[in-house]
Structure formats: structure tokens, C-alpha cells
Structure 1
């Protein structure tokens, strides 16, 4: 990450440089209500606003939004039931708004003969369209941004296959544009990702192409294999310094970690809790990242013989520990939490007690209503605290610069290493073990835990075993706070084996977001065609064609994830 000192200025650009509003779906014309003429605007200013918008929205989803919960990194304990009641998500309008801004930057780059900016805008375009097709399926793509030049302002939808292949083609074109030694017109301060370093942008373009080729590994394996083997011979992200990240420096709301609670309600921070799917796995692997991400529970719970309960009652707290009489569990319909049995216990009407001594997570879809009462929380109020469930580490309640830990992590060196390890396991590359170990090491290092690597890599379940399951498990852990990639990996491979939880809307996790109402109402005919391309499932019958549980093209005819 370069030139962090300029981010305070750049974050403030975001609301000023949005080229269009998104109130009317995709039918807006490319006009700038803030008075900056697209024919004269500096593309450097535009790409900085696209970069910050992309980075902050990705982190917001992956930390405290839909994809952080879907990937089972976190759960929310109030004003959210975690039941996978997926609707439109938050991507459609925000991404198309950024795409319009990016399109103006691209056109200016072409007009001014600036191949660096042209390549960068192609990469940003690919990432934004990638989010959209990942979550919705067929989307407006070829005609989405034509605006007033498009006779019919209701753009048709391209197939998901067309979009993915178009994304890859744009990334490969960007790589070619970014292969020269010298470029003109770069304002380094406005490139908040790489400070104008074309070689790093080229590595990113190729690394993203590898990501998207692998995205197609189950649906189009021959196409994916050819693309992966070719891309592995190109310059790729090769060290932590190449990562696509953006630091949150704090100070004001727009520069601070999402849901930090410093500029709104304190409950914004309290509501985000670690998910037991992750905390259980980290404890199983003796993973040191648990202490960086989560806080020890304020009041641990112990189930003990009656004689050890202070005062001799059913429950009491003393010296910061809660004691529960083991002889009263059945009478009170209490059950001790276990990952293997908790769903059945809840379905049987039991109330769960978590006796984890340090880190207590919130199980996925643990309640049909707000789960703020989990683990016999005596406070029992929405938006309040729960002394019996761990919070996120205080660093995420950003009161300072976060000690270099608080970054939007859009593409990490760890992810690249795990992609290469997966390719090797599939027979599409080489050195599965070396790349796996490099991915684990890189993830530990970015969280300040590099000195734990030699011990951690010897732990049971971490020492390399040569399986895709192990590679995807470590990649899932390393993608903490990049819920988009963790969720897409799960949808692609079914790994790790995530369950929907006892009070989820359906017995399985959803596969997509539904299209937003404004798009349905203003682009009805084309929307209807796109929705009809979705494949119904046993879980989509209570919805129209456009269901979170309908299969988009990429998982049609594919055995995973369910």
C-alpha cells in the first residue's frame, strides 16, 4: 500500500465525484450533477473515487454485511436473525454507479492516449462487473453503460458465461497495456492502491484473471484449465507488497472501519460477533489469528457440581466467572454447546450454554428471532452488550489507525498462493505444498504473526496433507473480511463444508441475490428474460423465478455446493 497519507483526502472525493445517481436502476444517462464535465475531467480523480468505493463496499459486505455472515466469519446478535433471508444485497446500484464513473475515466484515458489509466480502468471494470455477475447471474453488461447513446435505454442482459469471459478478456487486455516501462499522466497520489506502479497493476490483472479462470473450474473445466496453465506463466502477485489493499486510517467516519461504533451508535460495534464456525475451527487448529480478530469473552461460563456454585443456587457469578449447577441442566432445558449437536439441541427446544473458556462465538442461524439472548445473556436487550459471547477485537472499534491491521483486503498474496496450490492439486500447475505453505505464511504475516509460522505449520490439521479440502480451508481462514471470495469459493467447491444452521430460511445456503425492485420495474422485459434463465430447485418454490435458491448458470449442472 503506497501513499497512505493521502487517503484522508481521497475518501472525501467519493461523494463528490460520483458521475450519476442510481435511483432509477440502469436507465440513468451519463450526467454529472456536481458540475464536472466528463469531457474535461482528469481521469486520475475519477479512478481514485472508484478505487475507494470498491474497497470500502467490499469490506463492509465482508465484515458486517451479507457475505461476512454467509461465509460464517461473523454473526450479528440484534436487528438481524442470520437466517439467510437474502434479498437484493447492496451491490447492484453501488457497482453500476461506480462503473459509470469508471467508464468516463476509461474514455478520457483513451482520448488522451493514457494506456496506464486505460489498463487500470479495465481492471476496475472487471472487478465491479465480477461482483455483479457473481451474485446475480445474468446482468446488463455489453449495453449497460451506453446511456444516451443507446436508443433503447432498457439494456438487455448478457449471459453469465458472456460476462465472465468478457471480464477475463478485459483483464488480459489490461495486462498488455500495463507492460511498458514508462507512462505519462500519472498522479501517484490519486492511485490509492499502487501509487502509479504499472508493474503491480499488471500483476494484479493477471492474478485476477487466474481468480476468474478458477471461478469457472467446475462449470467449464477445460476452459478453466487452459486459462490457468497459461496465466501461471505470467507475472503474478509475488509478495505481500503486491497485495491489493487500502488502509483505514480513522479520524472520521468515511475513513474508519465499518461498524466501528466511533461515529454512530456503540451498538454498531457490539452487534458484530464472531461465528462459531470460525472460532471452533481456529481453536481446533490452535490458530493464533483468533487473538487478533476476537476478544476473550468477558464472563466465562463453567458448569460445575452443585457444591461448587457460589451460594449453592442454580447459577451465580463470582470473580468474573459464571457458575451453573450441572444438576439443573435437564430441568431448565439447558444443553452445553457442541458444533456437532447444537442444531439438534435447539430444534429440541434446548437453550445453549457455551463453556468455552476464552473465545465464545455465536452459532450460525441460532435463533428464529434476534439472538441477543444467546448463552443465557441476562441483559437480554437489543443493541446491548453480551458478557457471555466474545466481541470482535477492540482494534475493529477503530479508535486510532489500527496499527496497520485495518485494511480493505481485495486481493492478497495468500489468496494467490492458495490459487496456485489448488491449481497444482488439480494437475494444472505445480508445487502444491510450497504454494500452500506460502499462503499460510503470508496470512500470518499480514496479521503480525509471522513468528508463529514455524510452530503453526506443524499443528495437526495444518501440516500439509495434499488435499483440496485443506487448501480451501486455509484459504477460507485467510480470506477473513473478504467475504465475497470466501463465499464464492464455497459456492464453487462446497468447501469448507458450511451448513445453513437450525433456524435458516431453508436447509441449505442461498446461491445468489435477487434483482432489485427498481430494475424489475424499469427494465421489466429484459429482467424477465434474465430471471427465466435461472434454474429452479427444491428450495426456490416459494419464490418466483428470481429466487436466492435458484441456480444461476455457473452452478447449473454442477454438483457443488449442494
Structure 2
């Protein structure tokens, strides 16, 4: 018995020694000194950008394009977007998606070390500004200053900041990003960790400033900020132009290219082929292109192997669209549609559909500012260059000299004798086509300007008025009731007809 007790005691001592040995300095021994305990910016940025573009491109396809008469998802069913009629659950997808990715984009900033990752900080600020601007332009007042702080600060019911406050803070973020990216600090941005500009801080800086200009123009008419905003625009495009470089060529456009390699597969490939080709091309969208003999669709006049880059299917040798907003029961016949064959080049697998900010937009912004007398210059030249850039994005081999002929033949050339209203209509009709596939910018610009002039069908709901916003997701009413009610009290009823701040007189 004594021998058994002795053996058990010895075993207990040995086990104790082993356990002590295993747990002593466990964290130090089992931590790889070559790895960071936090996700690194280069690990966070690519998937966040790819996922964000997925949300934006799919909502562009089935929401923006339906509202803005690019396509018509023809049906007499309830809740058809092309009739300005959509259910409240449409709000969830974009809201949930962008806020979830904002956590990762903010972590890019937080986890970038001051001494060697300043470029990542600048990139994060630009991406935050881009994503928050889309959220605010879609919904109006949204969580901003307290958003995405549940883990860090335990804020599960964030306040809704006013759109004015959001815009003003975005301007500060973009100023900071411009300063950071012009500082000459070490970049250390891996080429493979940046699917937009391959780690080039100069190009990110140009994108940030171009975004800044887009958003400044969006609120330049608001009397409570117009003086400051217009002065800033004039400074950016005048005395301080060298301090605020902008996207300056088609090649510098902000694009997430869907190479088809690894994770870089277009989100449009997730749509079933029969569903992708199901919506008809809208009459407004295709009729202009046909009347202009536009090279972006298959018009033999211009020739070349890259014709019909937008891959629109003809019907009996012609391009024919469906009138948007038609009344239930009219049932127009579907003719042209976007090809969905994935074995050949279509918009489903085209690398260039991940468009975030086209160079053409800069030229059209300048044209508008010149027409309004906010800056000096030749608006006709900017208009010409904008049209040219819009075509060359899709047809890189398109000769610039062809654009003058194209505009003249289509009878859409610039005339300085036109009224301001006529000039604005010309600029924004061409800008509409330049913004094709760019998240919901066509919709935002229409809400700002009322242009281009869209035909109104007899079947439109919402009093025939373009929806001014998406409603908040329904679940927000129960998960954040106090701040939801405060937001509604400040902004107006949570309906699609309530205008956001920059739309209100």
C-alpha cells in the first residue's frame, strides 16, 4: 500500500511539473514573432474593397438601372422598381453590406502603424468617405460618428448624424487624406494588396480629390454651405490646383478590375445567366445610342473589332427598348437585352465593370461649373473631352479625332449660343452615359439636377416623382428605436418621398 501511495504521489508531482512547464511563458513561446496579432492592412483592404464593389454593382444592376431607365424588369407584379415601387426590404442589402465592410476599412486605418503605413491611412480615409457618402446619399441621415463602434466602445445603438454634418466631416477626411498622401511618407503598400491602384499613393490621392470635387458640387447649391463650398471648388481648380491633383486620364480612372483570377471575379457572375438577360433594355437608354450611331454598341459605321462593348443584343437586326414606367396590362414586347453568355466577353465577365470614378466625370463637372460661371474656361472643350473619355473608357483604341465627327453626325455638338438650361441638359445627358455602371451615381445626379429628362410612363407610383431615398431597414426600428425616431423627427417621415438634406430647398 505504501508503495502504491508513493507512486501516485510521484505521478502527481510529475504531472504538476509538466503542466507548469507547458503553461509557463505559453503566450510568448506560441507567438510567431513574424506575424501580427491583429489583421494587417494588406490583409483587410482587398477583401473589403472586393466585397463593397459586390454590393454596389448588384444594386446598380437591379435598383439604379431600373430607376434610371437603363433596364426594365418587365412585370405587372407589385414592387417593381422601374415603377418607383419597391418594398422596404430593398433597404437592407446595401445598408448591411457597406456598414459591415466599413469595420474592415476602419481597421485598415487603425492597424496601420504610424511610421511605415501612412499610405494605408490615406487610402482608408478615402474609402470611408466614398462608402459613407453613398450611404448618406441613399438614406439621408445615417449613423456616422458612432457607427462601427460596438466592439471597440460598446456602442450598439449609434446616433444618426445629419447629412450636413456627415458631408462636412467627409470633407475633413479627404483633406487629411490629401495631406497624408502628399507627405512622401514610406508607402509599403503591397501591389497585390491594392486591387484598384496597385499601391500607387499618387493615384489614390487623385481619386480622393476627385471624390472631394464630386461631393462639393453635390452640395454647392445649399445656401447654408454654398459660399464656403464654392470658394473651395474655385481654390481646388484654380490657385491650389497643384495641391489637389485630380484624375487626369482614362487610365487613372478608379476601377477595381475583375481579372477573373483568385477573388477578382465579377459579382455579376453570381447572377444566373437567364436572370441577367431577363430585364429588357429601356427605350430611353438605347434610343439615344441608336440615334447617335454610338460606337459603344454594334454600329457598323465605326467598324473595329471592339464594337458593341456593352454587349446589347439586337432584335431582328435592330436595337429596340421597352418604355419604362409603362402601366400594368400594357405588356410591351421585350426586344433588346444585355447578353449573358459567359463563354464570350459580356458585361457579366468584363474586367472594366468595376468602375468607381471615371475620368469623364471630372470633365463633365468642370463643364457644369463653367456653364454656371463658378469657374472660368471653355465648357464646350470640357464637354467634348468628357464625351471622348466616356467612349475611350470602353473602347481604348477609339481615336480622339473621331469624337468631333461623332458629335457632329449625331447633332449633339456644343453651341455657345445655347441657354444655360440647354447646356446643362447636354452635359448631364452625356454624363448619364459616362456614369453607366457606377454604383448609384446616375440616381444621385438626377436627384440633384433633374437631368437627364426621363420620360414618365403612366404606371409610375410615388406620384410620378423619382424616389428621393431608400427607407431605413425595418429592423433598425427595433434595434435602435430611440435614435431611429430622432432621425425621422429631424429628417422627415421614413418614406421614399422624403428628400435628403442636399435635395431640400
Matched-pair contact (CA < 8 Å) for 2:255–2:354: yes
**Superposition deviation, residue 72 in structure 1:** 1.4
Per-residue CA deviations over 1:477-524 (Å, capped at 9, x if unaligned) read 111112511111110011111244221222111100000012121001
Residue 159 (structure 1) aligns with = 162
Distance 1:251 1:146, change over 3 A: closer
Matched-pair contact (CA < 8 Å) for 2:266–2:351: no
Distance (Å, rounded) in 2 between the aligned partners of 1:519 and 1:105: 27
Distance 1:500 1:224, change over 3 A: farther
Moved over 6 A (4+): 251-254
Matched-pair contact (CA < 8 Å) for 1:209–1:231: no
- Choose which of 456, 472, 476 in structure 1 pairs with 2:432: 476
**Superposition deviation, residue 365 in structure 1:** 1.9
Distance 1:172 1:500, change over 3 A: farther
For the aligned residue pairs, the C-alpha RMSD in angstroms reads 2.5
Confirm or deny that 1:463 pairs with 2:409. Answer: no
Confirm or deny that 1:368 pairs with 2:328. Answer: yes
Residue 312 (structure 1) aligns with = none
Residue 248 (structure 2) aligns with = 238
Distance 1:500 1:91, change over 3 A: farther
Residue 66 (structure 1) aligns with = 63
**Superposition deviation, residue 77 in structure 1:** 2.9
Confirm or deny that 1:295 pairs with 2:312. Answer: yes
Distance (Å, rounded) in 2 between the aligned partners of 1:56 and 1:264: 11
Matches within 5 A, 1:370-519: 373-375=331-333, 388-392=334-338, 394=339, 397-400=341-344, 406-429=352-375, 430-448=377-395, 450-451=398-399, 452-466=402-416, 467-506=423-462, 507-519=464-476
Distance 1:360 1:250, change over 3 A: farther
- Choose which of 277, 280, 288 in structure 1 pairs with 2:284: 277
Distance (Å, rounded) in 2 between the aligned partners of 1:124 and 1:511: 24
Per-residue CA deviations over 1:341-393 (Å, capped at 9, x if unaligned) read xxxxxxxxxxxxxxxx6111121122437x8x522xxxxxxxxxxxx51121x
Distance 1:118 1:405, change over 3 A: closer
Tell me the TM-score normalised to structure 1 length.
0.72
Distance 1:282 1:38, change over 3 A: farther
SS at match of 1:440: helix
SS at match of 2:206: helix
Matched-pair contact (CA < 8 Å) for 2:142–2:162: yes
Distance 1:202 1:110, change over 3 A: same
- Choose which of 130, 135, 138 in structure 2 pairs with 1:132: 135
SS at match of 1:463: coil
**Superposition deviation, residue 151 in structure 1:** 5.3
Distance (Å, rounded) in 2 between the aligned partners of 1:547 and 1:210: 29
Distance 1:53 1:465, change over 3 A: farther
Distance (Å, rounded) in 2 between the aligned partners of 1:397 and 1:197: 35
**Superposition deviation, residue 235 in structure 1:** 0.6
Distance (Å, rounded) in 1 between the aligned partners of 2:183 and 2:263: 39
Matched-pair contact (CA < 8 Å) for 2:59–2:94: no
**Superposition deviation, residue 98 in structure 1:** 0.6
Distance (Å, rounded) in 1 between the aligned partners of 2:407 and 2:328: 39
Count of residues in Structure 1 that have an aligned counterpart in Structure 2? 435
Matched-pair contact (CA < 8 Å) for 1:296–1:360: no
Confirm or deny that 1:119 pairs with 2:122. Answer: yes
SS at match of 1:154: coil
Distance 1:520 1:459, change over 3 A: farther
Distance (Å, rounded) in 2 between the aligned partners of 1:455 and 1:498: 26
Per-residue CA deviations over 1:196-238 (Å, capped at 9, x if unaligned) read 1110011111100000001102224323311211222121000
Per-residue CA deviations over 1:99-157 (Å, capped at 9, x if unaligned) read 01111111011456511000000001001101110011111101112224435521111
**Superposition deviation, residue 530 in structure 1:** 0.7
Distance (Å, rounded) in 2 between the aligned partners of 1:108 and 1:253: 23
Distance (Å, rounded) in 1 between the aligned partners of 2:502 and 2:435: 22
Distance (Å, rounded) in 2 between the aligned partners of 1:65 and 1:256: 15
Unpaired runs of 5+ in structure 2?
1-34, 299-307, 417-422
Matched-pair contact (CA < 8 Å) for 1:249–1:400: no
Residue 6 (structure 2) aligns with = none
SS at match of 1:459: helix
Distance (Å, rounded) in 1 between the aligned partners of 2:313 and 2:59: 24
Matched-pair contact (CA < 8 Å) for 2:260–2:266: yes
Matched-pair contact (CA < 8 Å) for 1:250–1:257: no
Residue 8 (structure 2) aligns with = none
**Superposition deviation, residue 252 in structure 1:** 8.8
**Superposition deviation, residue 249 in structure 1:** 3.3
Unpaired runs of 5+ in structure 1?
1-36, 300-356, 376-387, 536-544, 558-562
Distance (Å, rounded) in 2 between the aligned partners of 1:130 and 1:428: 23
**Superposition deviation, residue 60 in structure 1:** 1.8
Distance (Å, rounded) in 2 between the aligned partners of 1:38 and 1:487: 42
**Superposition deviation, residue 282 in structure 1:** 1.9
Distance 1:164 1:433, change over 3 A: same
SS at match of 1:145: coil
Residue 85 (structure 2) aligns with = 85
Confirm or deny that 1:358 pairs with 2:318. Answer: yes
